[in-house]
Amino acid sequence: MTTPTLDFDRCYGALESRDERFDGQFVVTVASTGIYCRPSCPARTPKRANVAFVATAAAAQRLGFRACRRCLPDAVPGSPRWDHAADVAARAMRLIADGVVDRDGVGGLAAALGYSPRQLERILTAEFGAGPLALARAQRATNARILLTRTDLSMTEVAYAAGFSSVRQFNDTIRSVFAAAPSQLRGTPSPEAAVDRRITLRLPFRAPLDSRWLRWHLAAHAIPGHSTAEQRILTLPHGPALADIGFADRHVTLRLRHLDLRDLGAAVSRVRRLLDLDADIATVDSALARGRFAPLVRSAPGVRVPGTSDPFTSVVSTMVGQQISTAAARTHLGRLVAELGAPAPWTSDDGPTRLFPSPAAIAESGSTVLRGPRRRINAIVGIARAIADGEMELHAGVDASQSHDALLARPGIGAWTADYLTMTVAGDPDVALDTDLVVARTAADLSIDRAGLADTAPWRSYASMRLWRHRLLTVPDTEGPAS
């Protein structure tokens, strides 16, 4: 039976047309074959009487369906609803993708969201057709398939790296989900994988994607010693890893090195959020193209709102960069990293070698390293102490409005900073940065007033980003925010 929130006729129309835009937004269960597929599966379209539509792969698995080995329904972009929605279910999915259930159990997930385990079970089952354990199981199966097909790890290593508690559980899950033994899924690993266990992945996205804007953003916000235009150090639950990011026509290439394999899912989830790869960009562009933003959409389709792979780094970077140029902010942040950041467990031959300072390190010594107005230094040290002491939380499961209010309540954080961090850290798609100087100037040049920007709701973050992009990539010597 189709989930009540999914319209059968609309979903079946997407299935008939093999519309890739719906991949990841729902899955198709086929009663006659016992498998589930993505909407764009190239197989013959099943009869209407034999299909139903569910929101998640976990719901399909819970009903006894197996993943199609032709279209690989788990190898698609994530749901844009989980990426941008602020409700409890969407925030829970972001944390599940980050591996919270594997690390802290359902109790840890519920605590992070401020609910009891029983309440959370009821919410997720009603919304997605499966509870947190089933959703986490589906996530582990996806991670296992990636490891089986992209690395030379042994079966035991794959089992524990994917988050399973035993090899038997791993074998049973793979057979149930994919109707095949793990050895049957084993691909031919890259020759590089056998050398240093590096993992190279292709991250799918919904086309189009403006890679020029993302490249600019990564380069402009690189921190000396910690990141470059192509590389990011990821601070993960079991240790740091080095991520190399590249762009192709149909995917983003992610090469992970020095990774504790238990952190594979978290690493992928954080890079996807950094690059906003799960956005339903066709819907966004279509909405913006109906008004004054139409010329900007035509000239550069697929502009994303870059997020963050590390909320604390983004908070400090944004606060350091207030009212100074991007170049000056990089200098200040480079000094902070050099003096307070711990060394990475690899050499400079690999890439950046300094981790971003921890909240505790900045709380203790930031006032002696940071430069600038004393009020800003005190504000940065204060928020670092609040995070280190557990008084303030910053993660993908925090509600955007709550995050915004908590930031505004901090001394030294104004409306612009709270808005910008709500957009990038909490992933709010509807933040109008109309007080930003670059946005305001560009809007004026294009004869777009505040009402015109307001009319782009619920995609005002994307409208703001398009104004930034137009200015920063077409006007020489123009710089954006330093975060």
For residue 446, give Cα distances in angstroms to 291, 442, 477: 12, 6, 19
Distance between CA 131 and CA 104 in Å, rounded? 16
* Residue 71 annotated as catalytic: no
DSSP lists the bridge partners of residue 241 as: 234
Residues 442-459, buried b or exposed e (16+ Cβ, 10 A)? bbeebebeeebbebbeeb
C-beta pairs of 29-36 under 8 Å, 24+ apart in sequence: 29/53, 29/54, 29/60, 29/63, 29/65, 30/65, 34/64, 34/65, 34/66, 35/65, 35/66, 35/67, 35/68, 35/179, 36/60, 36/61, 36/65, 36/66, 36/67, 36/68, 36/73
CA angle 396, 401, 405 (to 5 degrees): 110
Neighbours of 249 (CB within 10 A): 7
3-state helix, strand, coil in the chain (%, to 5): 50, 10, 40
* Residue 104 is among the residues annotated as catalytic for this protein: no
Burial class (CB in 10 A: 0-12, 13-18, 19+), 298: exposed
Q: Which residues contact 450 (CB under 8 A, 6 or more apart)?
A: 432, 434, 443
Dist. CA 306–CA 268, nearest whole Å: 15
Pairwise CA distance, residues 386 & 406, whole Å = 11
Catalytic hit among 37, 41, 68, 71:
37
Find the catalytic residue in 263, 428, 430, 436: 436
Distance CA 372, CA 224 (A): 19
DSSP single-letter state for residue 96: H
268 SS3 class: helix
- Residues with catalytic annotation? 37, 436
